[in-house]
Amino acid sequence: MNRKRKKKKILFKIMMFFFILFVLVITGVFIYIKTAPKLEINSANSLMFYDQKGEVFFQGNESKQWVSLDQISDYLIEATINTEDKNFYKHHGFDFLRILKATYINLTSGKTEQGASTITQQYAKNLFLDFSKTWKRKWDEMWYTMRIESSYSKDEILEGYLNTINYGHGKYGIENASNFYFNKSAKDLTLAEAALLTGIPKSPANYSPFVDFEVAKKRQLLVLDLLVKNGVISEEEKNNAYQEELHLSGKEEQEELSTIMYYQDAVVQELKKIHSIPESYTDTKGLQIYTNLDFNAQRNLEKTIDETIPEESKIQVSAVLMNPNTGGILALIGGRDYQSSSYNRAISSIRQVGSTMKPYLYYAALENGFTSSSAFTSEATTFTFQNQDDYSPKNYNDTYGNKPISMATAIAYSENIYAVKTHLFLGSDALINVAKRVGITANLQDVPSLPLGTNEISIIEMAAGYSAFANLGYKVTPHLIEKVVDKEGNVLYQASNKKELVLNSSLVYILNNMLTGTYDPDYIDYNYPTAIGLSSKLTHKYALKSGTTNSDNWNIGFNPDIVSAVWCGYDDNQSLSTSEYKYAQNIWYQSVENYEKAQAKDFWYQKPDNVSAVFVEPISGKPATQNSPKQKLMYFIKGTEPRETDQTFDEKSSNQVGT
């Protein structure tokens, strides 16, 4: 007990030292700031993000209905101050005692249970900063907080804060929110209404009454309890307010999504990389940013993830829906819940891609004379090299056909032996060259396991790479932003959406049709296609490839209309369980099926004139005969159709690839 008490005393002394140092630094900075030019907040970071329908889904310091403090209900003002920052009128931007208390509680409990951001800090973040939680952003927040406090009165700061915070459903500012939820001006809000609205900004995705009325009421009660505790209202007033019937008038024009912040983060990051827009514009000028966001696709993707992965699971997810014809990112998810983890895996993470690397290899093979029927023997194989160790890859579950199989079968089963034999047969440059041509910028290692996806690549690059297959060989640039316009209506940036032909369209057509074999029952033989469970679930035709490692699970698929890439795994590279390998596949198929429901027709590709369709035996790739147990229509460049006399590649003595 004494050791524990002594430990707490030491911890307290350390905290006091850093606290005093912090206060001294802040004091010095305040003196410096007093002599600096006044910070302009009226136009600071006036960013408005629009989805592809032209509807606002984020708005920073921009309000159509700005109201002064005397036009806002005293109940709302008191509720906000007592809930967010009860010492607002006493401190100079930072509540040091609250910071000290919150730090002590969080350190001793081992959890982040309390925050200490003041209203001014929150206002600074809303005005000038992006949505990340990096140390740099924390320092920037502190700097802007001090500058705001030194230049503006408390009433001016509070007025600006109440006119710019997010009350959910695209409503920024108290006047907009009051009209939306209760069809009245902010000055006419009752205590009950004010307490309900005050509770929303902490997490609009959870506390909006249109999202969950019962949760919103619990949050309202917490606000009312704080007002009683701080002597603003009586217990009787609290009870009357809580029991008051609320007449909500707003309609849920746009759902509040917990994952939309990942898309917003990605937009901010992309905006910073547009060299034609000076960084000063994003700080001080009003910008209207038109994005590719498809709100319905984002909503359905989030809903599918929530329904697929158990709430208690710690597994993470990233997902991207992309228009393959333009590279426009329609939906993006960088994690399961932004509130619990703002780390954006869609734009910041690279992971081993597993067998989703193989389509690049098989396109290279087609380009080098292979066909859908080209055969290698499926058997346990050890590859021997002169200057490196032997390599013995294995198929999933150690399953082998011990017979020649076609490329189409190798794709359906995701055969590792066939892939490595093909890779060594062609030479490593063939795969690397194709990957680079479609936009993969990762440093690809020249190793025998390269086609098995041992390299780490980002999900956006993989989606863009598959887009080159989805639009028959045209490379596109992935992007979220279509256009940026300033307050005067000047177009500062316009995405070009240029396409560059980097692959042979006829060969891509052949590859895409082979990629439908991953869920085709015609390939059931000594093994099952990797996505055979989807054969009865898919109502549209897609090319699909999965990828698995011990800690990563991918599904990437497409048609001419959409590319969907989904990754599931643990941030700490923990191994996945058998059941967890199904998550990415289920999220993938539901995301594309939901997207295609809204489309007018079923999209697939028209056969090029130089491509022929021939019935073959799918497993062997040999020409089909009347006695063939299975026949499947497969595609070939005219003049390369299979013949009965075609040899298996690894049976040719001059082309032996393994021993």
For residues 407-419, b (16+ Cβ closer than 10 Å) or e, as one string? bbbbbbbbbbbbb
For the CA atoms of 303, 309, 314, 317, the dihedral, rounded to the nearest 10 degrees, stands at -60
On whether the CB atoms of residues 191 and 75 are closer than 8 A, the answer is yes
What string of DSSP letters covers 437-487?
A: HTT--S----STTGGGT-SEE-HHHHHHHHHHHHTTSEE---BSEEEEEET
- Among 203, 208, 355, 564, the active-site one is 355
Within 13 Å of residue 451, how many CA atoms lie on the same side as its CB? Answer: 32
> How far apart, in whole angstroms, are the C-alpha atoms of residue 438 and residue 444?
14
Helix/strand/coil for 542: coil
- Among 84, 482, 596, 641, the active-site one is 84
Within 13 Å of residue 7, how many CA atoms lie on the same side as its CB? Answer: 6
Q: Is residue 355 annotated as a catalytic residue, yes or no?
A: yes
Tokens of 154: 């408390």
What string of DSSP letters covers 557-572?
A: EE-SS-EEEEEEE-TT
Rounded to 5°, the CA angle 472-477-478 comes to 105
Helix/strand/coil for 363: helix
Tokens of 326: 């333009």
Regarding beta strands 47-50 and 287-291, do their DSSP bridges make them parallel or antiparallel, or are they unpaired? parallel
> How far apart, in whole angstroms, are the C-alpha atoms of residue 570 and residue 195?
39
Q: Is residue 84 annotated as a catalytic residue, yes or no?
A: yes
C-beta neighbour count of 388 within 10 angstroms: 10
> How far apart, in whole angstroms, are the C-alpha atoms of residue 507 and residue 520?
21
What string of DSSP letters covers 19-34?
A: HHHHHHHHHHHHHHHH
Query: Active-site residue numbers?
Result: 84, 355
